Amino acid sequence: MAITKSAKKAIRQSSTRREHNIVYKDNIKKLAKEVRVLVLAKKMEEAKKLLPEIYSALDKAAKVGIIKKNNASRRKGRFAKLVDKKI
């Protein structure tokens, strides 16, 4: 357990940041799952309507530092490719 005052503060900060980061990650996961479910159900128009939302969530997470910029870019590209598939 932390002994010094600064170590106790660091624990408080890290737990607060963790909670904050989880909100961003959960939102991305929720939207990603929705898109995948719609694509599997062959509802491409609805999936295309969700793309701007997932792009926004990824960009916000990258801006805040939850994920890296290239990670967000790669995921956006993969979602675009997934939705554009002609099945």
Q: Do the beta carbons of residue 31 and residue 54 sit within 8 Å?
A: yes
Q: Which amino acid is at 3?
A: I
Q: How far apart are CA 7 and CA 4, in angstroms?
A: 5
> Other C-beta atoms within 10 Å of 59: how many?
15
Asked if the model's pLDDT at residue 67 lies above 90, the reply is yes
What is the average pLDDT across 72-83? 95
- pLDDT classification of 87: cutoffs 50, 70, 90: low
Q: How far apart are CA 47 and CA 35, in angstroms?
A: 5
30-64 tens-digit pLDDT: 999 999 999 999 999 999 999 999 999 999 999 99
Domains and CATH numbers, the chain: 5-84 (1.20.58.110)
The total number of residues shown for the chain amounts to 87
